[in-house]
Amino acid sequence: MAVKRAMCTLILLLSLMAMSAAGDDDGAPPPASAPVSASTACDDTTDPTFCRTVLPPHGSSDLYTYGRFSVARSLDGARRFAALVDRYLARHRRLPASTVGALRDCQLMSDLNVDFLTASSSTLHHNNNNTDDVHTLLSAILTNQQTCLDGLNSAASSSPERDGLVAPIANNTKLYSLSLSLFTRAWVVPTSNTKKHKPPHHGHGGRKLFEMARRVAMEGGAVAVNGVVTVDGSGGGAGNYTTVGEAVAAAPSNLDGSTGHYVIYVVGGVYEENVVVPKHKRYIMMVGDGIGQTVITGNRSVVDGWTTFNSATFAVVGQGFVAMNMTFRNTAGPSKHQAVALRSGADLSAFYGCSFEAYQDTLYTHSLRQFYRDCDIYGTVDYVFGNAAVVFQSCNFLSRLPMPGQSNTITAQGRSDPNQNTGTSIQGCSLLAAPELDAALATAGAYRTLTYLGRPWKNYSRTVVMESYVGGIVDPAGWMPWSGDFALDTLFYAEYNNSGPGADTSRRVSWPGFHVLGSGVDAGNFTVTSMVLGDNWLPQTGVPFTNGFITSTA
């Protein structure tokens, strides 16, 4: 068996070397590095010892070929893991409901990983220019893997299903991390501090766009509405629905965005439903009548048996999703702990003029590239969390009254690998107390709630607050540890050019990973242009954005 595996490995590497030679004339990737031994190629990866067990030990090749080889191995591992999860779910009648829920999350994650690795492999083999997309996909694959593991650990401390998946998850995680590490060494140009900076641009087409979309059913307009949702069914006729879920299901599958978005207008009303926009429902735009007018609400929570991932009232996976003028709400309440209002794992997703309302874990920015503009986010514990590359611009973060003994933490960013291009950027926003917390704080000083900018959910947690108004509710320390000294020297937390009574950094934490940025060049890495490559895709959404710094002094 070992000989057979070695022969397969050799054949795969030789075929990749041939593809690499055949693709040299395309000229898109950077010039190929000189041939090196596998041991040398592994030296600067995150786990050199593991790397040397994966790459062929004899001969030499360039980093591009090693990277393609590792991605191919990762794809094989992802397919095997997806099949294993399917086998466990096939006997779900004998499994506890909590385990089934976690396995279904793993099934979705593993299917997405096969898709992402297939796309990455194709891109790297054809030497095209979409290496930023590959970096995003390989980063998301690790996030998906971690999500699967977290769900299984929460569902059961020990079970045959959990125990049978832990080892494959660990092995594949190391393999995916290796693929990401080799990819960044070969394809990512190390000039991130100055890359892709353009003259400041302020896009302002969004409000006009959604107003036109809202009126088109009655007046006719430039933006076609493809479906209308009303609570009472008063729309009537084809293309009209009484639930948001029905309208999503009726949307065409696998749009590529070349002809614009499929527009669903959700008329004002309260829609009590849990909605999923699956991966094949791409480039949907959902337009409501305004915050507090068009409301999608649910009450799933971890206490009531759901995984955090599947507690979301509204979940979106399909690429290119845009929402405007809507409220997403989870009413489970603080005593039910994790209860998500909205989860986005949709690449190139944008939210404009929306409100997200819950307590713990309100907004799950799960993975891939996301943008939020002029939105309100309400919560208590870790109320913006996940591992997307995400920028919040001109948003309000409104900390609510938590349960006794709890502190508010605005963010819990989940970057688990140093090569992931993920992180949370809060730019030009306001960090304030929600009305109920404001009222409690005003009661003769008898009540005090500590509010922090964030805490590190995973080892390489990365969050930046810049050009924002930081209210007096934020504790002078600014940031809160997760547990002991976990991640304090590997995280990256930073503040830049903020204002307000809570913006004073003189008493901030002294962790090795915390920084007060004094350079606009460093802070520029967390603007729309650099963090989410927004210049390439946000103009097509109609959502307004500023691609660089907001303040003229930056």
- Lowest-confidence region among 84-88, 151-155, 285-289: 151-155
State the pLDDT confidence band at 106, using cuts at 50, 70 and 90.
very high
Using a pLDDT cut of 90, give the percent of the chain over it: 74
CB atoms under 10 Å from CB of 157, counted, come to: 7
Architecture of the domain made up of 265-541: 3 Solenoid (2.160)
Summary mean pLDDT of the chain: 88
Radius of gyration of the chain from its Cα atoms, rounded to whole angstroms: 24
Strand 355-357 versus strand 376-379 pairing type = parallel
pTM of the model: 0.91
- Residues acting as catalytic residues: 382
Angle, CA 74 vertex, CA 69 and CA 80 arms, to 5°: 135
pLDDT tens readout for residues 333-376? 999 999 999 999 999 999 999 999 999 999 999 999 999 999 99
Between residues 415 and 1, the one the model is more confident about: 415
**159 pLDDT exceeds 60?**
yes
Mean pLDDT value of segment 403-426: 96
Q: For residue 59, what are its two tokens? A: 């001969």
Model confidence at 520, pLDDT cuts 50, 70, 90, reads confident
| Residue 42: Cβ within 10 Å count | 22
Buried b (16+ CB within 10 A) or exposed e, 164-188: ebeeebeebbbbbbbbbbbbbbbbb
Tell me what the mean pLDDT of segment 478-504 comes to: 97
Residue 320 has pLDDT above 50, yes or no: yes
Rounded to whole angstroms, the Cα distance separating 334 from 338 reads 8
* Cβ contact 121:205 at 8 Å: no
Distance CA 248, CA 321 (A): 11
Q: Where does the chain hold its CATH 1.20.140.40 domain(s)?
A: 36-187
Q: Which pLDDT does position 200 carry in this prediction?
A: 53
The stretch 53-82 carries a mean pLDDT of 93
**CATH 2.160.20.10 in the chain, residues?**
265-541
pLDDT band at 33 (very low <50, low <70, confident <90, very high): low
Which H or E run includes 529? helix 528-531
CATH 1.20.140.40 for domain 36-187, yes or no, is yes
Beta strand segments in 331-429, E: 342-344, 349-352, 355-357, 363-365, 369-373, 376-379, 384-386, 389-393, 396-399, 408-413, 423-427
